[in-house]
Structure 1
């Protein structure tokens, strides 16, 4: 049983119809007043019809087959004698077949231009054509080069499901109305260089099998490339996206170049796949750039670019990656770096929550603006207000930091709890942390002053939640969690080890202090006795890190010892030896017993210069754990014993604190 297409909706020519094989025959619409289409009219009938045409006439040749000569004959009477341009009113060429070259160059379509399902077997020439109303090429097929260079589309331009088997040239074309290229197939090169889309441009689900060039294109409204496929290279160099640019679920199998492109609105690359090199060198993003769930299969270089917000959430980088951004925010939540990567950042606040790092990742802050290829400085005007803001890390929660290197970044707001292998992170350059509140504060009626040290943002959050918290501790933002001392102590311990492993003992001191603070305030896992010992350790020497505090206590202990010795420890005078003789009756041998009298507490003035000198001598000997040899009262003996225990300990704590600050 033979199959054939149903007849068209218009009265058609039916030339060559065969009831057995082709019951429809020629599908060309009948020429008004005739029984055949334009292609099958007799010469006289065709001449009469053409002679009746004038510039701007309405023509309807749907389904008609055109040779090059027949098309020339049709357009000849439609040409304006002054300009030589063909002027067509409404022109209906649906399902027409152009067997030769179809040259509509510089033609003006004053009404609807309908080429739906038309077949261009030869080249389609629409260069410099003007479409003043709807231009519909839906499902049209261009088997040879199609040239729409510098054409002007004042109304809607519809190329949906069109097929371009060869070159498709739209360079310099102007689309004043919506441009629809959804589901179009470009098997040859697609060139839109310097084209201007003043309204929406839709390329959703389009397929580009050859190179696609969009250099210097201007997209005035929504630019939609969702689910499009670029099987070869695509170049958007110097393109301008003035509104939303959607590249969601786009597949880039070849090189993708966005060098010097400008995205003034939201730029979405969610779930896009980059199979080869992708370059965003010197691109500018004024709003949000979304790469959520995008996949980059080979070497990637994004930037340097200027952006408002860049979202790389759940993106996958399979090859070596270099990302250079001057932005307000960079989101890398659940981003997978499956090869070496480097993030070069200016001003950006980076969220690396739950990112996967299988190879070394370096996050480095840049002090100077990025330089362009010509040596000029990349402008950052629209980042006003962020000019003095260094690159910041917002969160490392859920990250395996074994391969992470942080250089010259601000960690004052970074969330560390939940980071794996934090002790193996490398901190290079000037990485800054949060500080304790400065100045003197009143808490529960007492003045409080914090010794300067580096602290974690999460300690700020915890202390800000306490009922008696002083001003200066920053509260957590909603949704960031509320870790307590039990969770923060291991974080401090890991960072301390990271500094110690890099031979930076002074840098590790603040994190040891933070660890001990968290243990001292941990009522969940630290026993009361241990907290008491830690509290004493803190008061006496700041956990062996505050030399002045230990020396202050040492001075106080020595002063107390001197005062106690002068008051109770020194006798009123040094004891004298006494001899007692016993003479038996009748003479004989004389025996002398020499006894040393017990020291007596003085009853007169105890605080004299001589007594002070003796007490000071005893105290100084106690500091170095020596006995002075001075005769003391019973109370003085106990005072000296206590002094010989306490004061050398305080001296050792002072030495330990000084050593911790200068050791390398």
Structure 2
């Protein structure tokens, strides 16, 4: 007698008339009290002759041996004499059936190949090439040996929920026109779904794969659901096509997860997935958003030449051994709160990159092209760098890895090699290459071990950054610039801001003051413009001071001078600065730009010489026509002695000439010579009025000071 299946599904509550045999839940054959497996030989033959192609089959709970199944399918064949003829079933209900490879109870001899399929093992169910024209229901069934469904066609829905495959499950090149349900199915052997076509939903939620799971070349017409599935062996989806959602949420991959060259046309969700081995997505294409949030990568994470047309999210992901991530191209890469245990090289071309709260325990080499980058509260456990890369990345095979135009915003898209980036006043374009990344924030980040090379820092926020004075800057890393000429309700009504490097935080502060023209209240953010609370002048002074030290350590005196200027500006406007100090700083700013603007000092020197010239001409030079007076006596000469005459000379009085003779050419020539000489401590023999003497003394006091400030400013701009 055939084996009972009572132990296969001990908890099944049949909702159909069951077999009269002891502990058998097989469905009664119409007209009999027993199931097909427990009928007598003649009765079974009569029942099998009832079946014809396209008939419905309802054998729920029945134990089916390979021999009995082969006889049933032979009667469903369009040409029973031709082994290659099409076998066609209508609605097939095999729920809770038990398929095994024992001999048929009728004693009928099995075909020679019934128990063995190509020498690969025992076969308990062979549906190869069978056409299920209606729904096929195998829910709760058990296949004790290999189950072969290769090239089968399911025109209706196919339900394999809770099925247990003790051997291999072979569905190669099968086609599912309806829903393919494998919810909580169990595959103890290999599961082969190579080149399978799923026209509608494919549901493998909670399925367990103990051996090899092959979905290479499979095509999923709608959603592919593998959430909560468990893959103990290799899971291969190489070249698979997902036209709907690909849901692998909380899926566990015990070994290799191979998605090389796979194409995801819908959203791909790997939230909370666990990759116990290598995760291989080489050459994969993600056409919409992709989420690996909370995923754990215990092996290598290979995304070489992967393209993400939407956002690639790896928030809260953990990379335990990965030392290389990319190169990949995406619209936006999100690694917020992600953790990298090893020193990792990240190569990405994108429009946006967010690494807020990310942890690089051994450091990172972040090589990027194009993106806006945010690194708030990022932890760098070792020497790290963020570098802009001028040339496109290359895959190991030499293929260029570059973002396509639809992955980029209008600002960076285009075929040209450069893009016009507008400065803070939106009037002064700066030629900046399109590949240069733009750093937006390192707030609350310890940058003591960070190096920035070829990174746009014009809108980077540094407020709250730790060890900012130890930040290293290399290559071309431009900062923002103030607006140019402005006009408004202030005095003077037209003014010009001096050209220098400014921090992004200075914009909101300046925008809140009277002369706010050209300054922005909002600062760029990854999600667009954001209005941030202004940073006060006291904090601005600290930021400028720290960056000045960083530039000085890098021997960039010109850059350090700009930040010194910003520091002094913040101090001059700070409420905590005393009036006396503010007055001193204001004078320092006016005459020399805090010792950083040689033109101001030279202009002040020219003005000083002009003032000296006017004062000397008007009040300092006495009348040159005044005559000296000589008085004396002529005593009588003694006999034989020469006569001696004694004179007393009285200098000409230092009086000014008449008003109409003050501005003569001779007087102006003398005045300019004396004024120039006074500022370089040259003495003249020219007689001066008392006012002229004081004028020359003032020139000797202020002239050398202005010359020194000019020399100091020139040295600050050229020293290296």
Asked whether the two chains share a fold, i.e. TM above 0.5, the reply is yes
Structure 1: runs of 5 or more not aligned: 18-24
1:613 corresponding residue in structure 2 = 669
Structure 1 residues 274-283 or 447-456, which shifts more?
A: 447-456
Alignment partner of 2:589 out of 538, 541, 544: 538
How many angstroms apart in 1 are the aligned matches of 2:374 and 2:552?
26
Structure 2: runs of 5 or more not aligned: 1-6, 102-122, 414-418, 420-433, 524-528, 639-643
Alignment partner of 1:271 out of 275, 282, 294: 294
Q: CA deviation at 1:443?
A: 5.4
What SS is found at the alignment partner of 2:459?
Answer: coil
Alignment partner of 1:469 out of 516, 520, 531: 516
Q: CA deviation at 1:402?
A: 0.7
- Asked if the contact 2:508/2:519 (under 8 Å) is kept, the reply is no
- Asked if the contact 1:201/1:219 (under 8 Å) is kept, the reply is yes
Q: CA deviation at 1:465?
A: 2.7
What SS is found at the alignment partner of 1:507?
Answer: helix
Q: Is the aligned partner of 1:235 residue 2:258? A: yes
Relative to the length of structure 2, the TM-score reads: 0.86
CA shift digits 1:562-585 (9 cap, x unpaired): 111111112223988766668999
Q: Identify if the C-alpha distance between structure 1 residues 6 and 448 changes in structure 2 by more than 3 Å, giving closer, same or farther.
A: closer
Q: CA deviation at 1:247?
A: 0.9
CA shift digits 1:233-260 (9 cap, x unpaired): 1011111111111111111121111111
2:18 corresponding residue in structure 1 = 12
What SS is found at the alignment partner of 2:272?
Answer: coil
Q: Is the aligned partner of 1:599 residue 2:650? A: no
How many angstroms apart in 1 are the aligned matches of 2:681 and 2:69?
116
How many angstroms apart in 1 are the aligned matches of 2:51 and 2:545?
91
1:458 corresponding residue in structure 2 = 505
Structure 1 residues 6-15 or 307-316, which shifts more?
A: 6-15
1:432 corresponding residue in structure 2 = 478
- Asked if the contact 2:297/2:320 (under 8 Å) is kept, the reply is yes
Alignment partner of 1:509 out of 555, 561, 581: 561
Alignment partner of 2:142 out of 119, 137, 147: 119
Q: CA deviation at 1:590?
A: 10
Q: Is the aligned partner of 1:382 residue 2:406? A: yes
How many angstroms apart in 1 are the aligned matches of 2:126 and 2:653?
132
Q: Identify if the C-alpha distance between structure 1 residues 119 and 550 changes in structure 2 by more than 3 Å, giving closer, same or farther.
A: same
Alignment partner of 2:530 out of 475, 478, 501: 478
Q: CA deviation at 1:31?
A: 2.2
Q: Identify if the C-alpha distance between structure 1 residues 7 and 451 changes in structure 2 by more than 3 Å, giving closer, same or farther.
A: closer
CA shift digits 1:273-309 (9 cap, x unpaired): 1122101111111111111111111124332222111
CA shift digits 1:441-477 (9 cap, x unpaired): 4553632122322212221232223233223656434
Q: CA deviation at 1:558?
A: 0.7
CA shift digits 1:80-124 (9 cap, x unpaired): 228612211111111211113111111111111111111111111
Q: Is the aligned partner of 1:74 residue 2:125? A: no
1:650 corresponding residue in structure 2 = 706
CA shift digits 1:117-154 (9 cap, x unpaired): 11111111111111111111111111111111111111
**Equivalence map 1:99-110=2 (5 Å):** 99-100=100-101, 101=123, 102-110=125-133
- Asked if the contact 2:521/2:531 (under 8 Å) is kept, the reply is no
2:29 corresponding residue in structure 1 = 31
Q: CA RMSD in A?
A: 2.6
1:287 corresponding residue in structure 2 = 310
CA shift digits 1:206-232 (9 cap, x unpaired): 111111111111111111111111121
Alignment partner of 1:400 out of 442, 446, 450: 446
Relative to the length of structure 1, the TM-score reads: 0.93
- Asked if the contact 2:160/2:185 (under 8 Å) is kept, the reply is yes
Q: Is the aligned partner of 1:362 residue 2:385? A: yes
How many angstroms apart in 2 are the aligned matches of 1:92 and 1:540?
96
How many angstroms apart in 1 are the aligned matches of 2:89 and 2:544?
79
CA shift digits 1:377-418 (9 cap, x unpaired): 335232353233431111111111111111111111111111
CA shift digits 1:62-82 (9 cap, x unpaired): 222222212211211111228
Q: Is the aligned partner of 1:217 residue 2:240? A: yes
- Asked if the contact 1:208/1:230 (under 8 Å) is kept, the reply is yes
Q: CA deviation at 1:204?
A: 0.7
